């Protein structure tokens, strides 16, 4: 039944694009989001169905299931917030917005279930294409520039990932393996893959999918795309599209690990991870644009994910856990920042100060979101960041753990400087106040997401924990 998760959102997208009236379309979003999440939880809780022909191509394994759970939860939050946002923008037609939004959910479900490298690539490329119109939602020169950069840089990156996929297939061909080359086939026959082609394929996949994740130095589209699109789109990009790309990268990582190249792949991930954190830290210092600040925070957290996989072992479990922590908190941050920006009609620092007085709920949500993402208990990012540092320090590679902690501290200071001014500064007297006020519709989904993050930090249900552990085993190449 899992294929319904792919088909239904795509069908809803078609309905939203063709016949539906504008109010119906808007109501379709939360309905689809809640339904998708409920169906996914039911499928994950159910016992495994028997093997069918389709099963080899599309199947929810622990790794894909966990990633899709994260994406679906974030989508649910975004979809419940979107109607209120669209109501604030009556001048923009919401047809393309809603159908692209729903399309993304269907394609993410396809990516999470796909077990053929080619199919994964197709799903990833299509998410790039269907999110491009979302970035252009504001229809002005700045969003146009952001969309062009996103399309060109994203497409070139994804093209390199395709070359990596072909290299992987060629390495299997040299090992005498036959198509269709499912990931399970590649992992079981890891020893037969040709090493030079496998290594080159992994590097290309890292560059290609890393571009979509936004790992430094391939992140250059990120501040522009996140900065110029609406907050709710920023949330979906920073938590959803990046998680998709991370999953695609992990699939290739698992093949490399199963073929006995684990040490090589880990070193590359560790290096990219720390570089991303360093790059983000440098650009966060005195960053006056709130959205760009959040974009660099996203670069940092993609770095943390790569760092966790690079350390490996127990750290891989916490890296996967961090995927959920990052996605939910990024949702809160981007959407509350969107509310604040709407109230001030600006997203730059000298204009936007004292948000707790103008928009108290969004202001506090933004501040708590910042504390959460920086690793303050009891929120979920604390658990993952603390444990990642602990595992890294316990390993022989002491320097990596030390660098991780120093970078986290530096980023906390750099980000905190801007956030505290935005939230607690004196509101500028000369700045006109737009009619925007916090309402239940624009804040309640965010409050729920933040509560979920706190709950996840305090208590992880046993089945979820087991799923995370088996997903981490899969990433390390043990099917």
Partner 1 sequence: MLTDLLIAFILLTNFALSVTSRISKAIQLAVVQGTLLGLLPLAMGLGRHLHILLIVAATVGVKGWLIPYLFRRATRQLKLPREVQPYLGFTTSLVLCALGTGLALLLSSVLPLAPAAPAPGVAHQVLAGGGCALFVPASLSTLLTGFILLITRRNALTQVVGYLVLENGIYLFGLMLVEDMPLLVETGILLDLFVGIFIMGIVINHITAAFDSMDTHRLAELKD
What is the per-residue DSSP string for 277-298? HHHHHHHHTT--BHHHHHHHHH
**From the list 7, 41, 52, 196, which residue makes contact with partner 1 (rule: CB under 8 A)?**
196
Residue 217 or 465 with smaller CB distance to partner 1: 217
Helix (H, G, I), strand (E, B) or coil at 370: helix
Residue 169 or 215 with smaller CB distance to partner 1: 169
**Residues 107, 112: Cα–Cα separation, whole Å:** 9
* Binding map of partner 1 across residues 174-193, x = CB under 8 A, - = no contact: xxx-xxx-------------
| 194 in contact with partner 1 (CB under 8 A) | yes
Is the torsion defined by CA of 462, 468, 474, 476 positive or negative? negative
CA distances from 331 to 142, 211, 272 (A): 23, 21, 24
Of 121-129, 325-333, 422-430, 447-455, the segment contacting partner 1 by CB under 8 A is 121-129
Residue 165 or 359 with smaller CB distance to partner 1: 165
CA distances from 427 to 256, 289, 334, 343, 431 (A): 53, 17, 21, 12, 8
**Residues 374, 385: Cα–Cα separation, whole Å:** 9
| 465 in contact with partner 1 (CB under 8 A) | no
- Which residues ranging from 216 to 255 are in contact with partner 1 (CB under 8 A)? 223-224, 227-228
Closest distance to partner 1 from the beta carbon of 128 (Å): 8
**Residues 40, 271: Cα–Cα separation, whole Å:** 35
Contact 223, 293 (CB under 8 A): no
**From the list 159, 394, 448, 464, which residue makes contact with partner 1 (rule: CB under 8 A)?**
159
Tokens of 458: 């305090």
| Residue closest to 290 by CA, chosen among 214, 342, 216 | 342
**Residues 368, 237: Cα–Cα separation, whole Å:** 21
**From the list 200, 262, 371, 403, which residue makes contact with partner 1 (rule: CB under 8 A)?**
200
Residue 264 or 364 with smaller CB distance to partner 1: 264
DSSP state of 58: B
| 93 in contact with partner 1 (CB under 8 A) | no
Closest distance to partner 1 from the beta carbon of 227 (Å): 7
| 397 in contact with partner 1 (CB under 8 A) | no
- Quick count: other Cβ atoms within 10 Å of Cβ 384? 28
| 149 in contact with partner 1 (CB under 8 A) | yes
| 163 in contact with partner 1 (CB under 8 A) | yes
**From the list 162, 232, 319, 356, which residue makes contact with partner 1 (rule: CB under 8 A)?**
162
| 126 in contact with partner 1 (CB under 8 A) | yes
Of 7-15, 131-139, 255-263, 442-450, the segment contacting partner 1 by CB under 8 A is 131-139
Contact 164, 214 (CB under 8 A): no
Closest distance to partner 1 from the beta carbon of 141 (Å): 5
**Residues 292, 295: Cα–Cα separation, whole Å:** 5
**From the list 53, 141, 426, 432, which residue makes contact with partner 1 (rule: CB under 8 A)?**
141
Peptide bond into 180 cis (omega under 30): yes
| 197 in contact with partner 1 (CB under 8 A) | yes
* Residues near partner 1, by CB under 8 A: 116, 118-119, 121-122, 125-126, 129, 132-133, 136, 140-142, 144-149, 151-152, 155-156, 159, 162-163, 166, 169-170, 173-176, 178-180, 194, 196-197, 200, 223-224, 227-228, 283, 287, 292
């Amino acid at each position: 039944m899992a294929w319904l998760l792919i088909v239904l959102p795509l069908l809803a997208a078609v309905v939203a694009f063709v016949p539906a009236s504008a109010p119906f379309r808007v109501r379709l979003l939360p309905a689809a989001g809640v339904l998708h999440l409920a169906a996914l939880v039911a499928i994950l809780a159910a016992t495994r169905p028997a093997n069918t022909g389709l099963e080899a191509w599309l199947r929810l394994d622990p790794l894909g299931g966990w990633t899709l759970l994260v994406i679906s939860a974030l989508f649910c939050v975004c979809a419940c917030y979107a109607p209120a946002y669209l109501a604030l923008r009556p001048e923009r037609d919401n047809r393309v917005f809603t159908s692209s939004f729903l399309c993304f959910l269907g394609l993410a479900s396809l990516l999470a279930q796909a077990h053929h490298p080619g199919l994964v690539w197709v799903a990833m490329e299509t998410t790039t294409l269907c999110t491009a119109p979302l970035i252009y939602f504001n229809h002005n020169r700045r969003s146009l520039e952001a969309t062009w950069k996103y399309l060109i840089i994203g497409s070139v990156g994804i093209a390199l990932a395709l070359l990596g996929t072909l290299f992987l297939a060629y390495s299997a061909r040299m090992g005498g393996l036959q198509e269709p080359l499912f990931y399970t086939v590649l992992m079981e026959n890891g020893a037969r893959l040709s090493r030079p082609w496998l290594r080159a394929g992994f590097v290309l996949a890292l560059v290609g999918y890393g571009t979509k994740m936004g790992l430094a130095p391939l992140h250059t589209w990120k501040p522009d795309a996140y900065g110029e699109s609406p907050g709710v789109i920023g949330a979906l990009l920073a938590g959803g599209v990046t998680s998709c790309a991370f999953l695609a990268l992990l699939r290739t990582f698992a093949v490399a690990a199963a073929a006995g190249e684990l040490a090589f792949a880990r070193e590359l991930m560790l290096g990219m991870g720390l570089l991303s954190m360093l790059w983000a830290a440098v650009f966060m210092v005195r960053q006056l644009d709130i959205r760009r600040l959040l974009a660099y925070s996203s670069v940092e957290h993609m770095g943390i994910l790569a760092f966790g996989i690079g350390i490996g072992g127990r750290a891989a479990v916490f890296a996967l856990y961090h995927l959920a922590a990052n996605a939910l908190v990024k949702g809160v941050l981007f959407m509350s920042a969107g509310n604040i920006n709407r109230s001030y009609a600006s997203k730059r620092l000298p204009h936007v100060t004292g948000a707790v007085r103008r928009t108290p709920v969004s202001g506090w949500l933004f501040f708590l979101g910042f504390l959460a993402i920086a690793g303050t208990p009891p929120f979920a990012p604390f658990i993952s960041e603390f444990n990642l540092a602990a595992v890294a320090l316990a390993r022989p590679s002491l320097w990596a753990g030390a660098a991780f902690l120093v970078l986290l501290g530096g980023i906390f200071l750099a980000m905190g400087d801007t956030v505290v001014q935005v939230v607690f500064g004196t509101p500028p007297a000369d700045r006109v106040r737009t009619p925007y006020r916090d309402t239940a519709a624009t804040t309640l989904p965010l409050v729920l997401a933040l509560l979920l993050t706190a709950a996840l930090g305090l208590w992880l249900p046993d089945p979820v924990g087991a799923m995370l552990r088996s997903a981490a085993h899969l990433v390390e190449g043990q099917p």
